[in-house]
């Protein structure tokens, strides 16, 4: 913020709005949701399974403890205490969720626990086992035969079989979940591509309309929303086309009225100033003739004054003729377009004799008076620009029929446009406006190789 003369001005530059891509959103969002959903479901499965495994193993461990406490032979019995303990360990080890084995006094196993456990068809990987395995619980029962201690019966929780079952379900559920997420992402991308293709077709139609092609239409669609959008775009194109036709009609009428008014003004100037200039020249001739008989000291001054009046009279006459010719060429309607251009070339040759001007009309062309006037003014303005601004030494005017168009092209060897913004002139602007009003196309001066080329394509009417 800054303050000047008691007023506050906001100097903050507005930040451009951040644009988002629908294709990226449809791709990234489902992918992120799928990954988050898969991770959440995997975490829930692992957490619930871990809790269930801990409860199952704890229950089996308590049952094994109670069984061993009841069946363990007393130390003073005459039976084979070690043999009965090993049989109990073998039976306990065959149960699910627990393992049991017998060790001697040195801790050496007397019964391999894996010998009595069947191998699972599917073994869970180490990382999954590490995630699922709860804290191991163990208990030791002394094996004695009075008065000797023979060893210990060790019972532990063993969740291996339960982890393997969970892994069997987990390895099926997670790929199915991944495939489901991939399918959803693929469907989202497919729908987004379907929508984007339809949007691009509508955008192409709008782009063609923006560049002036109002004949372009948005294609029909089977989807209701896009069909409605296409209908609206096509209705807009039809409306713009009708407005353009109306504007062109109005421009043609304005141009016709302007040319009529210019012709009337030219005629009025000619009719009003012509007799007056003639009378002025006649009176001036009489004054010059009378001044020849004047003698004395004022005779020389009178002669100089009359000669100055004659010079200014000629300048006024030339200015009047130039203004009348600008308003309406004097020869319009008095000859063919080729003849008018020939007269124009002769006029510029007198003005700039050092410039070579060639006129090439390959065949006879004819158009209405408005079109011929526009072509005439285009050639005159192009010649004037080439000589005055381009400093051209050679100019070539070409005019021919191409299908239903009168193509007029002016080439010169001048330095061409400077590339800077054009000044506030009326020449090229007037040509462009006339071309637009008459349905013609105008190419302003441009460099083509070593030449400067400007072109007007006028419908032959």
Buried b (16+ CB within 10 A) or exposed e, 361-389: beeebebeebbbbbbbbbbbbbbebbbeb
Cα 275 to Cα 298: distance, rounded to the nearest angstrom: 31
Cα 320 to Cα 265: distance, rounded to the nearest angstrom: 12
Alpha helical stretches, state H, 292-330: 299-327
Report residue 453: phi and psi, to 5°.
Answer: -125, 135
Cα 408 to Cα 374: distance, rounded to the nearest angstrom: 11
Tens digits of residue pLDDT in 236-274:
989 988 888 888 777 777 767 766 776 677 666 666 676
Overall average pLDDT of the 43-59 stretch:
88
Tens digits of residue pLDDT in 127-142:
888 888 888 888 888 8
- Bridge partners of 109, per DSSP, are 103
Question: Residue 327: what pLDDT?
Answer: 66
Give the β-pairing of 356-361 and 148-157: unpaired
Question: Residue 412: what pLDDT?
Answer: 92
33 Cβ neighbours under 8 A, 6+ residues apart: none
Place 114 in a pLDDT band, splitting at 50, 70 and 90: very low
Residue with the larger pLDDT of the pair 301 and 166: 166
**Quick check: helix, strand or coil at residue 454?**
strand
Judge whether residue 119 has pLDDT over 70.
no
| Percent of the chain predicted with pLDDT > 70 | 83
Question: Residue 111: what pLDDT?
Answer: 57
**Quick check: helix, strand or coil at residue 19?**
coil
- Range list of β-strands (E), 163-288: none
Question: Residue 453: what pLDDT?
Answer: 92
Q: What is the number of H-type helices and E-type strands within the chain?
A: 9, 10
Tens digits of residue pLDDT in 321-355:
777 666 666 545 556 778 888 888 888 888 888 98
Judge whether residue 59 has pLDDT over 80.
yes
Cα 307 to Cα 333: distance, rounded to the nearest angstrom: 37
Cis peptide before 384 (omega within 30 of 0): no
Closest by CA to 438, choosing from 215, 265, 258, is: 258
Question: Residue 423: what pLDDT?
Answer: 46
The correct CATH number of 335-459 out of 3.30.565.10, 3.20.20.70, 3.20.20.120, 3.40.50.150 is 3.30.565.10
Closest by CA to 170, choosing from 298, 333, 45, 57, is: 45
Residue with the larger pLDDT of the pair 255 and 454: 454
Sign of the CA dihedral 389, 392, 398, 403?
A: negative
Question: Residue 14: what pLDDT?
Answer: 58
**Whether pTM exceeds 0.85:** no
Question: Residue 329: what pLDDT?
Answer: 63
Report residue 49: phi and psi, to 5°.
Answer: -65, -40
Judge whether residue 117 has pLDDT over 50.
no
| Percent of the chain predicted with pLDDT > 90 | 3
Tens digits of residue pLDDT in 163-209:
888 888 888 888 888 888 888 888 888 888 888 888 888 889 899 88
Place 144 in a pLDDT band, splitting at 50, 70 and 90: confident
Count of Cβ atoms closer than 10 Å to residue 294 Cβ = 11
138 Cβ neighbours under 8 A, 6+ residues apart: 154, 155, 156, 157
Mean pLDDT over the full length of the chain:
80
Report residue 364: phi and psi, to 5°.
Answer: -70, 130
Cα 76 to Cα 86: distance, rounded to the nearest angstrom: 17
Domain regions of the chain by residue span:
22-184, 335-459
């Amino acid at each position: 913020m800054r303050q000047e003369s008691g007023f506050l001005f906001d100097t903050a530059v507005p930040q451009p709005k951040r644009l988002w891509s629908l294709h990226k959103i449809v791709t990234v969002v489902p992918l992120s949701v799928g990954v988050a959903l898969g991770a959440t479901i995997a975490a829930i499965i692992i957490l619930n399974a871990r809790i269930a495994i801990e409860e199952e193993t704890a229950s089996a461990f308590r049952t094994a403890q109670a069984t061993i406490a009841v069946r363990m032979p007393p130390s003073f019995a005459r039976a084979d205490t070690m043999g009965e303990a090993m049989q109990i360990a073998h039976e306990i080890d065959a149960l699910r969720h627990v393992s049991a084995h017998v060790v001697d006094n040195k801790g050496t196993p007397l019964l391999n626990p894996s010998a009595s456990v069947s191998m699972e068809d599917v073994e869970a990987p180490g990382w999954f086992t590490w995630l699922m395995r709860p804290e191991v619980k163990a208990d030791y029962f002394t094996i004695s035969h009075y008065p000797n201690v023979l060893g210990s019966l060790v019972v532990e929780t063993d969740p291996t079989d339960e982890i393997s079952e969970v892994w069997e379900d987990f390895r099926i559920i997670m790929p199915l979940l991944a495939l489901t997420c991939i399918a959803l992402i693929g469907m989202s991308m497919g729908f987004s591509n379907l929508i984007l293709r339809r949007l691009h077709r509508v955008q192409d139609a709008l782009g063609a309309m923006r560049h002036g092609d109002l004949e372009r239409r948005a294609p029909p669609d089977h989807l209701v929303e896009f069909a409605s959008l296409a209908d609206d775009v096509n209705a807009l194109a039809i409306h713009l086309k009708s407005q353009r036709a109306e504007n062109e009609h109005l421009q043609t009428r304005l141009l016709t009225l302007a040319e009529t008014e210019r012709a009337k003004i030219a005629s009025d100037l000619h009719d009003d100033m012509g007799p007056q200039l003639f009378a002025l020249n006649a009176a001036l001739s009489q004054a010059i003739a009378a001044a020849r008989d004047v003698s004395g000291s004022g005779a020389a001054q009178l002669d100089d004054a009359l000669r100055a009046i004659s010079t200014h009279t000629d300048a006024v006459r030339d200015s009047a003729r130039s203004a009348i010719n600008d308003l309406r060429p004097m020869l319009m309607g008095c000859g063919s377009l080729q003849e008018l251009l020939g007269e124009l070339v002769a006029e510029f040759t007198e003005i700039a004799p050092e410039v070579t001007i060639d006129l090439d009309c390959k065949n006879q062309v004819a158009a209405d008076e408005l079109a011929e006037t526009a072509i005439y003014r285009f050639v005159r303005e192009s010649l004037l620009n080439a000589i005055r601004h381009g400093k051209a030494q050679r100019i070539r005017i070409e005019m021919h029929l191409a299908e239903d168009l009168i193509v007029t092209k002016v080439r010169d060897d001048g330095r061409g446009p400077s590339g800077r913004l054009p000044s506030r002139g009326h020449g090229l602007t007037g040509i462009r406006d006339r071309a637009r009003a008459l349905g013609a196309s105008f190419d302003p001066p441009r460099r083509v190789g070593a030449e400067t080329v400007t072109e007007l394509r006028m419908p032959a009417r």
